Amino acid sequence: MYISKLLKLISRVFMLLIVILIGIIYYLNVSYNEQSETVNLQIELKQLGNDLAAASDYLTDQARRYVQFGEEEYFTNYWKEVKETKTRDKVIERLKELNTPKEELDLLEMAKKNSDNLVKLEEEAFKAAQNKQFDKARKLMFGKEYNEYKEEIKKPISQFQEKMNNRAKNQTEIIRSKVQLILILINILIIIIGVTIILAFIILNKKISKPINKIKEELNNLAEQGGDLTQKININSKDEIGELSNIINSFLETLRRMLLAVKDNSLNIEDNSLNLNFISQNMLASSRNVALAINDVASGTGDQAQDLVNITSVLNDFAQELNIMINSIENINVTSGEIESTADESKSNMNTLINSVEKVDNSFKTFSEKVKVLGNSINKVNEITTIINSISEQTNLLALNAAIEAARVGESGKGFAVVADEIRKLAGQSRESAESISNVIKNVYNETNLIVKSSEEIDREIGEQVNIINSSMSSFQNILNSINSIIPKIQDLNNGSNHLNKEKENILCKIENSSSIAEEVSASAEEISASIEEMNSQASNVAQASEELKNITNNMIENINKFKL
């Protein structure tokens, strides 16, 4: 696979993983909000259940206070609760708004139906109290029948509270399980991102750094060993680096062949120059042999000129291939810049992700503090019930003392004794009600503590997720640093290719010079052939020219021998 395609693929994979991670964290935030709403709903439902039970107890308390001595204040409070405050109706209406299941609402309807008998007794007791028949009214309100009706009302209300609490608890557990699952998914995704980062680093190192270092090492060896053109760069990858190594190998092979051809032609020229020198010494003896030798020289130099023209053509082809190689390296350089830009953008997205998780953590800490404040408020209510118990005990003692004093007085203190006995009963009932309230508050307090502990555990887990994301951010920064270190190496390769292109121009110039020299030799041979009748007089000039030609070819051979072919 080409490096540019591989880099684009890695960038897309990173972007996809980051988008998925952001989506999961957003869903985690939504789940935390759902959990907060569910806990608030659970608290509200418990409070509504307590309000419903308290409303029934309040009506009973006001009715019993009224039938004691017929005080209109309690009578007014009773009917104000029934006709104006309507606590029970408001509770039921709110429960309907909260989409309470019909099964639970049916229990409240059952309690309402059971209260009809209780209402009849209360109305009968009110009539007796209004007619000053307080003993009858008290018997009706404090009798066994009234208490049985009262229990029939409390039973469905208690069942309603139990079902309602269980339903709210189940909803909380479902959302908590969902949050745990999301946290597990986040951990898995972070592990996948880490593994992907490591694999990307290994692949990029294998695809780019190692091949480039190998090419650089081979070219350095070529330069240090004085032009060993037999060496090959062995890189078998099917990407831009592999193409670059193949182009360089092709260039070296072409250059080696051209130099071999030049060397062979130079040796031929040297031999011909020796022959020419020998022929010039014997020119007077055989002009025909001289003419043939001159023709051979002309033919040899013509072939050499043609070979040099062919070499020039081959080098021009190599120049085109070298330009393609330079363009490829420039494309790699541009792609590396795009990778760096994409990595910077991904780093910005990771920072946004960390900020989102920190916001979730802060919101959840605020929620935990509110739950703790609720627990403190419940403790204060519990303290109030303790005070009520203390007052009930003192009232009971006062009623007992009053009964004792009434017994001492005798017959005239019987009425006072009855009142003292009723006060003692009221004190006992107040103590029982306070204990019931205390038990309910303890249950609410215990469940609130459980919520606080769960909140603290979730808060710790969020902290751990923040640490994991910070660790991923550090790993991502390491990849960005690695990419930044690769880009200068690619630029070095680009500079080396441009230098190679300049050296190619120098080689072309040298070959053109050799071609010009060969053309000059060919022209001289033609002139000698045209003026063969003057050979004898110019034999010395021919010998001198052949000597110069020999020196030129020797210099050329020395230059070529500098290369290892």
pLDDT at position 488 over 60: yes
Please, what's the b/e burial string for 179-197 (b: 16 or more CB within 10 A of its CB; e: otherwise)?
A: beebbeebeebbeebeebb
**What is the predicted pLDDT for the residue at 547?**
74
pLDDT of residue 303: 62
Distance separating alpha carbons of residues 103 and 131, to the nearest angstrom? 43
Mean pLDDT for 383-398 is: 72
441 pLDDT more than 70: no
- On the question of pLDDT at 301 being above 80, the answer is no
Answer whether residue 214 shows pLDDT above 80.
no
Each residue's pLDDT tens digit, 134-158: 888 888 888 888 888 888 888 888 8
For residue 410, report the phi and psi dihedrals to the nearest 5 degrees. Answer: 105, -140
- Which range is most confident: 78-92, 200-214, 469-483, 491-505? 78-92
Phi–psi pair at 228, nearest 5 degrees: -80, 100
pLDDT over 60 (residue 470): yes
At residue 333, the pLDDT reads 63
Give the pLDDT score at 46: 77
Q: What pLDDT shows up at residue 50?
A: 81
Determine the Cα–Cα distance for residues 404 and 420; give it in Å rounded to an integer: 9
Q: State the chain's maximal CA–CA distance in angstroms.
A: 187
Q: Which of 290, 1, 23, 378 is nearest to 182 (CA)?
A: 23
Which pLDDT score is estimated for 261?
74
CA dihedral 386, 390, 392, 394 (to 10 degrees): 180
pLDDT in tens, 8-22: 888 888 789 889 989
Helix orientation angle between 287-409 and 3-69, rounded to the nearest 10 degrees: 10
What span, in angstroms and rounded, lies between the C-alpha atoms of 355 and 343?
19
Residue 453 pLDDT: 72
Q: Give strand pairing partners of 564.
A: 228
User: What DSSP assignment string belongs to 218-254?
Assistant: HHHHHHHTT-BTT-------SSHHHHHHHHHHHHHHH
DSSP assigned state of 284: T
List CB contacts of 387: < 8 A, sequence separation 6 or more.
none
Residue type, 448: T
Would you mind telling me the total number of residues written for the chain in this entry?
565
Asked if residues 370 and 478 have their Cβ atoms less than 8 Å apart, the reply is no
pLDDT score at 99:
82
pLDDT at 494: 65
The CA-to-CA distance between both ends of the chain, in Å, stands at: 34
- At 348-366, the pLDDT tens digits run 766 775 676 577 567 656 7
**How many CA within 13 A on the CB side of residue 466?**
15
Residue 524: the pLDDT is: 58
Supply 357's token pair.
Answer: 């998780």
pLDDT band at residue 188 using 50, 70 and 90 as cut-offs: very high
* Amino acid making up residue 462: I
Distance CA 226, CA 220 (A): 10
How far is the C-alpha of 100 from the C-alpha of 112, rounded, in Å?
17
In the predicted structure, residue 77 carries a pLDDT above the cut 80: yes
Most confident of 139-148, 337-346, 526-535: 139-148
Most confident of 49-58, 138-147, 235-244, 322-331: 138-147
Per cent of the chain over pLDDT 90 is 1
Q: 125 by DSSP, 3-state: which? A: helix
Between CA 482 and CA 489 the distance in angstroms is: 11
Q: pLDDT at position 269, please? A: 64
**pLDDT confidence bin for 226, thresholds 50/70/90:** low
Alpha carbon of 95 to those of 45, 163, 168, 346: distances in Å? Answer: 8, 13, 13, 48
* pLDDT digits 0-9 by tens, 321-341: 657 756 765 765 666 566 567
Question: According to the model, what pLDDT value does residue 105 have?
Answer: 81
If you count DSSP H runs as helices and E runs as strands, how many of each does the chain have, helices first? 11, 0
Burial 401-415 (b: 16+ CB within 10 A, else e): ebbeebeeeeeebee
Check: CB of residue 368 under 8 Å from CB of residue 452. yes
Tell me how far apart the alpha carbons of residues 140 and 57 are, in angstroms, rounded to a whole number.
16
pLDDT at 311 > cutoff 60: no
- Rounded-to-integer distance, Cα 49 and Cα 443, Å: 13
Residue 364 is predicted with a pLDDT of: 57
Residue 509: other Cβ atoms inside 10 A: 10
Between residues 58 and 382, which one has the greater pLDDT? 58
The predicted structure's pLDDT at residue 111: 79
Residue with tokens 């639970």: 104
Q: Residue 232 CB: number of other CB atoms within 10 A?
A: 12
**The pLDDT value given to residue 434:** 62
* Range 534-544 average pLDDT: 67
pLDDT digits (tens, 9 = 90+) for 543-552: 676 677 678 7
46/49 Cα distance (integer angstroms): 5
Q: For all residues of the chain together, what is the average pLDDT?
A: 73
Q: Whose CA is closest to 10, among 203, 190, 207?
A: 203
Q: With 60 as the cut, is the pLDDT of residue 94 above it?
A: yes
Residue 260 pLDDT > 80, yes or no?
A: no
Mean pLDDT over 472-501 rounds to 65
Residue 32 has pLDDT above 80, yes or no: no
Give the pLDDT score at 349: 65
Q: What are the structure tokens assigned to 198, written together? A: 């490591």
Rounded distance between C-alpha atoms, residue 375 and residue 492, angstroms: 68
Q: Residues with Cβ < 8 Å from 218, sequence gap 6 or more?
A: 231, 233
Higher pLDDT, 470 or 497: 470
Confidence class for position 528, pLDDT limits 50, 70, 90 = low
Query: Residue 376: what pLDDT?
Result: 73
Q: What does the pLDDT average to over 253-271? A: 71
pLDDT at 107: 83
Burial of 265 (0-12, 13-18, 19+ CB in 10 A): buried
Sorting pLDDT into bands at 50, 70 and 90, what band is 191?
A: very high
Q: Cα–Cα distance between 244 and 493 in angstroms, integer?
A: 10
Query: Is residue 131's pLDDT more than 80?
Result: yes
Distance CA 258, CA 225 (A): 20
Give the CA dihedral 390, 392, 395, 397, nearest 10 degrees.
-70
Residues paired with 228 in a beta bridge: 564
Cβ atoms of residues 82 and 26 within 8 Å: no
